[in-house]
Amino acid sequence: MNKFVPAVMITGPASGQGKSMVTAALARLHRNAGRKVRVFKHGPDYLDPMVLEVASGHPVYQLHPWMTGEDECRWRLAEAAQDADLILIEGAMGLFDGDPSSADLAKLMGIPALPVIDAGGMAQTFGALVLGLVRFDPELSIYDVIANKIGSPRHGEMLKERLPEGVRLLGAIPRNDAMNIPERHLGLMQPAELGNLDQKLDDAAQVLKEAGLDELPKAVEIPAVESVNRPQALLAGVRIAIARDAAFSFIYRANTELLQAMGAELHYFSPLDDSELPPADALWLPGGYPELHGNTLAENTAMANSIRAFHGAGKPILAECGGLMACAQELSDKDDVVHSLYGLIPGRAAMAKRLQGIGMHSLKTEQGDLRGHTFHRSTLDTSWQPSAYSHKQAGTGGEAVFCQNALVASYFHGYFPSAPELVAAIFRGQALTFCTDKEKTYA
């Protein structure tokens, strides 16, 4: 049964406009008003969804027509619409940036875009910018716009004066410390590191309420969609130990749900605090911030020995990005301090001054095409030769994938539901068959 639910894509003309915090504050504002708010994130992102889950009180999933697939996007939205009072999707980068862009996702979902624009240092030109966003793609609906970081009520009135016909200034948000969450080199700080996040979200919600942003957006029709196919029980009875703490936290909720749907038993542990692995048949070291905790990881020799013994027994390990870094013999942090880590991979991982990899990638094998992304500021200097390379969706330059003694390690982050059979093969320690024809070999 189709549902009519207020829903918008919160976006902007570029990154840095404040859309993440506006999305979180709107979710908290309507949650505090007694509404059930479901929030999604366009594209690959681990940190924003953590904050959005705290803000809304409900799970946050990724929507990306290329990475997650169009069918899953439609199903996720239809599932949320069954009992949601409001659906918010936080866009990525600028409204028309990327392929597929936030605009592409909004059109696919049949919902309007709601641009958030940093109006600092801007007056009537605000209207020209809005006009450009409205006219760039006639198939995209834009009814409202939000001005962020205004200097005064008069500033807000000036912005409203030259808006194009048919577009309303939904609200003008003043500069306020409540609208800021500390960031670091990969994005927002994690909720666990922000002891006052709930209070900050409540304060931010109040700022939006005073700016007149407590009105629900226009309701749109969201078509009913049959459930996506349930995966086979390819991991029935397989116990997977998953690192999860301040150093290893980049985990898609959809990934763990897929593992459970395939029959796996998930056991979480902390490489920072625990002394040994839980009983397990396979190990997953996800991405995160090992470079911020190099000393603690190095000093936890009991855990390091437990992981080395696990690897020495030939049990399967998946190490993604930060997990890859921790598996190196050494890790050089941003201060050039070198830490001795797990030593499963010869060589040194070292932080760099700028991004070393960013973009959507896929890993093509005979067991499936695993889609995902890469986003890292470190390099790995190793004597190992890659078993394969990921394929960058746009441009050139894939990420090396190392496969040795049941260890699969790469800077590539995979979205597990895109290739369940491949994921099951990794956690069962089965040999991976990489595509080798000219169209599927990437370096």
Domain boundaries, the chain: 3-222, 239-440
* 9 φ, ψ (degrees, to nearest 5): -100, 115
Q: What is the pLDDT of residues 55-72, one digit of tens each?
A: 999 999 999 999 999 999
**Residue written as tokens 């459930």?**
227
Distance of alpha carbon 400 from its chain centroid, rounded?
21
All residues at 6 or more sequence positions from 328 whose CB lies less than 8 Å from its CB, including other chains: 341, 342, 343, 344, 345, 346, 347, 348, 349, 380, 382
Question: Tens digits of per-residue pLDDT, 22-52?
Answer: 999 999 999 999 999 999 999 999 999 999 9
- How far out from the chain centre does Cα 113 lie? 20
Q: Class assignment of domain 3-222?
A: alpha beta
Peptide bond between residue 112 and the one before it cis (omega within 30 degrees of 0):
no
**pLDDT per residue rounded down to tens, the chain (443 residues):** 899 999 999 999 999 999 999 999 999 999 999 999 999 999 999 999 999 999 999 999 999 999 999 999 999 999 999 999 999 999 999 999 999 999 999 999 999 999 999 999 999 999 999 999 999 999 999 999 999 999 999 999 999 998 999 999 999 999 999 898 777 666 677 877 777 899 999 999 999 999 999 999 999 999 999 877 789 999 999 999 999 999 999 999 999 999 999 999 999 999 999 999 999 999 999 999 999 999 999 999 999 999 999 999 999 999 999 999 999 999 999 999 999 999 999 999 999 999 899 999 999 999 999 999 999 999 999 999 999 999 999 888 899 999 999 999 999 999 999 999 999 999 999 999 998 643 333 22
Provide the pLDDT for residue 271: 98
Question: For the whole model, what pTM was predicted?
Answer: 0.94
C-alpha to C-alpha distance for 412 and 358, rounded to whole angstroms: 10
Pairing between β-strand 61-63 and β-strand 37-42 as defined by DSSP bridges: parallel
Residue 185 pLDDT: 61
Alpha-carbon gap, residue 441 to 443, rounded angstroms: 7
Give start and end residues of each alpha helix (H) in 251-388: 253-261, 294-299, 301-312, 322-327
200-204: list long-range contacts, CB under 8 Å, 24+ apart: 201/24, 201/25, 201/28, 201/54, 201/55, 202/28, 202/32, 203/178, 204/21, 204/24, 204/25, 204/28, 204/176, 204/178, 204/179
pLDDT digits (tens, 9 = 90+) for 316-346: 999 999 999 999 999 999 999 999 999 999 9
**Which sequence positions are flagged as catalytic?**
321
- CA 20 – CA 8 distance, rounded (Å): 14
Instruction: Report the DSSP pairing between strands 183-184 and 368-376.
Output: unpaired
Mean pLDDT taken over the chain: 94
For domain 239-440, is the CATH number 3.40.50.880? yes
Which residue, among 322, 324, 242, has the nearest Cα to 278 in the 3D structure? 242
